[in-house]
Amino acid sequence: MKKKIAAVFIVVCMCIGMSACADSPEKNSDASSTEESSGDRETEAADGKYKIGFSQCVMNHPFRIAMVDSFKEVVGDYDDIESVVVEGNGDVQTEITNIESLIQQNCDAIVVSSLSGTSIYPAYKEVHDAGIPLIIAASGCATEEEDAYNFYDSFVSTDEVEMGIAAAQCANDLLEGKGNVVMIRGVVESTNSMNRYVGWNQEIPNYPGIKVIAEQSAEWLRLTANEVMANILQANDDIDLVYCENDEMALGALEAIRDADREDEMVIVSMDGQQDACEEIQNGGAFKVTITNNSDMKEAVSAAYAMAQGDSIDKRIILPYEIVTEDNVKDYIDKNY
Amino acid sequence: MKKREITQMIPVAMLIILMIAGSFLSANFLTVNNFSNILQYAVESAFIAIGMTFVLLIGEIDLSVGSVMAFASVIAAKMALAKQNIILILLVVLLIGLVCGIINGFIITQLRVEPFMGTLVMMMVMRACTFLFTGGGPLTGSVDASFKQIIKGNIANIPIGIWYVVIAFVIAYLVTAKTRFGRHVYAVGGGEETAKLFGVRVERIKMMVYAVSGILAALSGLLVTARIGIGEPRTGYDYEMTAITICVVGGVSMNGGKGGVQGTFIGLMVVSMIKNLMNLMNIDVNGQPIVTGIIILVTALVVTRKAKGSGRELVREI
């Protein structure tokens, strides 16, 4: 008897756990309308609306959440778009299942934002084979040499390699061509970190006076960056600039620098344009620059909408990044937060 | 008797060897400042590893610690951002830890679920609750400076984090070595049936052990919040693995009954020192896991040797 109760309890727990992990309310609400007959997808759906699906890989970062919020806001402005949002919980298998469910639901266009590198390509192929337009938003994307290049219709995002280059230029400007740089990277195998790293390394050889004296990973996290920076501060007496690949880490590093009482010695260059980072720039401490990744989904939605109507669009749509410094931080905060 | 004393010194010797090696590898390693640093950042791992030591000593495992820590951390952050009283926050955090621990204990002792499964479920559920609570991203805002003093202050010119580590280990040592509860923990780990015959209330001991583990995990969640001033739901990923590593490196057996918190302290120092040295020496990020793995393996090989055979002492101790 006890064992039966135990079994039931476990099943209930698992169900709660899984539903909490995998589902978003939007996914459920549209599950009922999946069994439409699959006619010509290029034409308008039966209820006079275009159905656009958005698969977000994970919802644990402000940037990813901002994208979903922006997506919902933008589609709200169209009268004839019906949207479905699914979330992959950071797991590529879940992402693929989600994208398959979007295909099942007869979406007229699908927007995918994934951090899973090449592992997600099979899902791109499935969308392509189903004849549904595929837009990739703010994530890594196949290059021309790869097969997967043929599976999507448009890639809409900031160029993160360009952001890396911009960061190196900012560092050079702040240091006036000479100084020691500490670099704190995100999860090194992630697409964002790789692209930002490539851009930075492309540009930095142009500035022979700038020396990267430490290069460590803090996994995108504030707490980890706090500890890593505290250690780096122990080992290096002469640091002029700290470059972090995202704001969360920059804020953790800043805390460590303050604890060590060395805020006057160095400046910080970072990426993302998060609200608390902008506030630090406004306060005028060591935090000098953050380069913003664009979470605006307007272009992606309009591309998806155009494709759903049968129009063709550019294979690559580059969103502008913005360099937020003391000079424009006030405008940036007013505009975005 | 003499041989036993010598074998007990092996982990300490290992630690000293590592420290000497470290001082050759980086000039900034063996300094007061750096060790103060290492200890301050080891507080969270220390708390969780002490809890894990108790769980491993009874021959079981608690995978939920990282998630409980994250949940307590975001709840504490929510309250701190709303400028709640620190004592109240502390009580809520303790309660979260206690409740999670008791649920773990209940699932395992009353429903007779394997500890691995029971705490795995707890790990998934609490992680999901954490993300549901924050809505995905971190809870941001500004907390009072007094709240940050939980981890930032000094007492008698020594950083408060070091006090936490020292006090936690002293208490844990006294509990395992000098109390009846401590002796019973070893008895349960040495053999449940035997322990029962000697009149140990096994289920109650297990409940208490999971409660201790839960409370310590929740407390370290509070410390994380005090450290970073926001509620980060990604806190504590893989901490259960870190804690188990620390314990096992320190000679705590995963089969129960063998090892002790002294070993856990050694394990904590080894793991924290490796992490610190990686940063000091600026070792290539992609290669770091290899270095960590090898050092942990070597330490574990040397240290766990001494744990062999010490089980014979158990029956006499009860």
Mean pLDDT of chain B: 88
Q: Closest Cα to residue A159, out of A138, A143, A180?
A: A138
* Residues composing chain A: 337
Question: Would you say residue A22 lies in a domain?
Answer: no
Which residues of chain B lie closer than 8 angstroms to A230, CB-CB? 37, 41
Q: Which A positions 257-316 lie with beta carbon below 8 A of chain B? A: 259, 275-276
Q: What is the mean pLDDT of residues B102-112?
A: 94
User: How would residue A10 be classed by pLDDT, with cut points 50, 70 and 90?
Assistant: low
Q: Which of B37, B136, B224 sits opposite A230 (nearest CB)?
A: B37
Residues A115 and A187 both lie in one domain: no
Separation of CA B294 from chain center: 22
The distance of Cα B176 from the centroid of its chain, to the nearest Å, equals 15
Read off the pLDDT of each residue in B18-30 and give the average, rounded to a whole number. Answer: 89
For residue A204, being part of any structural domain is answered with yes
Query: Nearest by CB to A234, which of B28, B125, B137?
Result: B28
CB contact under 8 Å between A215 and B37, yes or no, is: no
The verdict on a CB contact (< 8 Å) between B125 and A234 is: no
Q: How far apart are CA A26 and CA A235, in angstroms?
A: 50
How many domains would you assign to chain A?
2
Beta-carbon separation of A226 and B227 below 8 A: yes
Residue B42's pLDDT is 94
The pLDDT of residue A268? 96
A335 touching B, CB under 8 A?
no
Instruction: Answer whether residue B240 is part of any domain.
Output: yes
The better pLDDT of the pair A61, A193 is held by A193
Measured between CB atoms, does B160 come within 8 Å of chain A? Answer: no
Chain A hits for B106, CB-CB cut-off 8 Å, are: none
Contact criterion met (CB < 8 Å) for A235 and B227: no
Which region among A251-255, A331-335, B102-106 has the lowest average model confidence (pLDDT)?
A331-335
**Shortest CA gap A25–chain B (Å):** 12
Cβ of A215 within 8 Å of Cβ of B282? The answer is: yes
Instruction: Find the helix or strand (DSSP H, E) in which A272 lies.
Output: none
Q: In which domain, by residue range, is A289 found?
A: 160-293
DSSP classification of residue A294: P
Of A16, A213, A235, the CB nearest to B279: A235
- Whether B298 is in a domain gets the answer no
Interface check B13 vs A, CB under 8 A: no
Residue B317 pLDDT exceeds 70: no
Asked whether residue A59 falls in the same domain as residue A139, the answer is yes
Cβ contact A222–B286 (<8 Å): no
Both tokens of B233, joined, read 């739901």
Confidence of residue B13 (pLDDT cuts 50, 70, 90): confident
Considering only CB atoms, A223 lies closest to which of B129, B232, B285, namely B232
Q: CA of A14 to nearest chain B CA: how many angstroms apart?
A: 7
Is residue B29, in this structure, part of any structural domain at all? no
Backbone angles phi, psi at B259, to 5 degrees: 105, -175
Q: Are residues A313 and A231 in the same domain?
A: no
Cβ-defined contact of A188 to B107 (cutoff 8 Å): no
Residue A153 to residue B209: CA distance in whole angstroms: 57
C-alpha distance from B232 to closest chain A C-alpha (Å): 8
d(Cα A82, Cα A80) in Å, to the nearest integer? 7
Does the structure show a pLDDT above 90 at B89? yes
Task: List the single best residue of A11, A85, A189, A216 to mutate versus B (max B Cβ within 10 A).
Answer: A216
Average pLDDT, chain A: 83
Q: How far, in Å, CA of A288 to CA of A311, rounded?
A: 43
What's the number of domains chain B is made of?
1
**Is B275 at the interface with chain A, CB within 8 A?**
yes
Pair A100, A143 in one domain: yes
Same domain, A135 and A200: no
Please report the residues numbered 144 through 203 in chain A whose beta carbons come closer than 8 angstroms to any beta carbon of chain B: 185, 188
Give tens-digit pLDDT for B129-138. 999 998 878 8
Residues of A in contact with B234 (CB under 8 A): 60, 221
Does the distance separating the beta carbons of B128 and A227 come in below 8 Å? Answer: no
Best B40, B225, B279, B292 residue to mutate vs chain A (most A CBs within 10 Å): B279
Q: What are all long-range contacts of B153-159, with beta carbons under 8 Å and residues at least 24 apart?
A: B158/B36, B159/B36, B159/B39, B159/B40
Query: B232 and chain A: CB distance < 8 Å anywhere?
Result: yes
Average pLDDT (A244-269) is 93
Q: Are residues A181 and A281 in the same domain?
A: yes
State how far the Cα of A130 lies from the Cα of A103, in Å rounded to an integer: 7
Contact B279 A214 (CB under 8 A): yes
Contact B128 A10 (CB under 8 A): no
CA–CA separation, B274 and B295 (whole Å): 8
Euclidean distance between CA atoms A216 and A205, whole angstroms: 19
Q: Does B32 touch chain A (CB under 8 A)?
A: no
Judgement on whether residues A221 and A270 belong to the same structural domain of the protein: yes
Q: What is the pLDDT of residue B118?
A: 94
Q: DSSP secondary structure string, A32-94?
A: GGG------TTSPPTTS-EEEEEEES--SSHHHHHHHHHHHHHHHH-TTEEEEEEE-TT-HHH
Q: What residues contact A159, with CB distance under 8 A and at least 6 apart? A: A195, A318, A321
Rounded to whole angstroms, the Cα distance separating A174 from A267 reads 8
B218 sits in which H/E element:
helix B202-228
pLDDT recorded at residue B3: 61
Shortest distance, CA B178 to any CA of chain A (angstroms)? 35
Judge whether residue A14 has pLDDT over 60.
Answer: no
**In the numeric block, which tokens belong to residue A232?**
């780096």
**Would you place residue A34 in the very low, low, confident or very high pLDDT band (cuts 50, 70, 90)?**
very low
pLDDT of residue A31: 38
Closest CA to B58 of B115, B96, B107, B111: B115
User: For residues A315 and B11, which has the higher predicted lDDT (pLDDT)?
Assistant: A315
A2, A20, A255 member nearest B112 (Cβ): A2
Q: Hey, are the CB atoms on A216 and B278 less than 8 Å from each other?
A: yes
**CATH assignment of the domain containing A219:** 3.40.50.2300
Name the residue in chain B with its Cα closest to that of A15: B125
Contact A65 B111 (CB under 8 A): no
Q: Which residues of B touch A185 (CB under 8 A)?
A: 285
Among residues A55, A56, A64, A150, the alpha carbon closest in space to that of A99 is found at A55
CB contact under 8 A, B26 and A235: yes
Is residue A173 predicted with pLDDT exceeding 50? yes
Same domain, A289 and A188: yes
Shortest Cα distance, chain B CAs vs residue A35, angstroms: 30
What pLDDT, on a 0 to 100 scale, did the predictor assign at position A16? Answer: 54
- Is position B242 within any domain? yes
Provide, as residue numbers in chain B, all residues whose Cβ is less than 8 Å from the Cβ of A59: 131, 136-137
| A44 pLDDT higher than 50 | no
Q: In terms of domains, do A86 and A176 share one?
A: no
Q: What is the mean pLDDT of residues B86-95?
A: 96
CB-based contact, A213 to chain B, within 8 Å: yes
Residue B244 clears pLDDT 80, i.e. is over it: yes
CB proximity A228 to B under 8 Å: yes
pLDDT of residue B71: 97
Query: Would you place residue A119 in the very low, low, confident or very high pLDDT band (cuts 50, 70, 90)?
Result: confident
Tokens of A146: 């790869």
Contact B112 A222 (CB under 8 A): no
Task: For residue A257, tell me if it sits in a domain.
Answer: yes
What is the predicted pLDDT for the residue at A296? 83
CA dihedral (B115, B117, B120, B125) positive or negative: negative
Q: Report whether A67 contacts A316 (CB < 8 A).
A: no
What does the block give as tokens for A195? 């692209």
Does A164 share its domain with A251?
Answer: yes
Any A CB within 8 A of B258 CB: no
Same domain, A183 and A228: yes
Q: What is the token pair recorded at B152?
A: 């930032």
Q: Do B285 and A13 touch (CB under 8 A)?
A: no
Helices (H) and strands (E) in chain A, counts: 12, 12
Domain that holds residue B137: 41-246+253-258
Residue A109 lies in a domain: yes
The residue of A188, A234, A254 whose CB has the most chain B CBs within 10 angstroms, and thus the best one to mutate to test that interface, is: A234
Residue A336 resides in a domain: no
